[in-house]
Amino acid sequence: MIPIFMRFKVRSAGRRGFGLTFPVILIWILLGALLVVLFPFLLLAALITYWRGPGFALLLVYPMALSILWHLGGLHIETKNVKSEVLIDFS
């Protein structure tokens, strides 16, 4: 499922730290509009380079990008250091 929110927290040793919740659905809307605008250029590049270049691979860019975005839901990255902690969570 495409994540709708991203939670970002940074905490330093001996300090309170800060957290940020960001609605990444806004980024997906802008990215979708950009992909629609760039699609004709991608098709043209795929047709020009189909016989001797990466034409077929260019056609797979959109399905691969959408697959990566779809599988970001549930990603949880947490790092700890002696001095700080960082949390990035997609939900």
pLDDT in tens, the chain (91 residues): 788 899 999 998 888 889 999 898 888 899 889 999 999 999 998 888 888 888 888 888 888 988 888 888 889 999 998 889 999 999 8
d(CA 43, CA 40): 5
Predicted confidence at residue 88, as pLDDT, reads 92
CA contacts within 13 A on the Cβ side of 12: 3
Strand order in the sheet with 76-80: 18-23, 5-12, 84-90, 76-80
Question: How many Å separate Cα 22 from the centre of its chain?
Answer: 13
The range of the structural domain enclosing residue 28 comes to 5-90
DSSP letter at 12 equals: E
Predicted confidence at residue 33, as pLDDT, reads 94
Q: In total, how many domains does the chain have? A: 1
Predicted confidence at residue 86, as pLDDT, reads 93
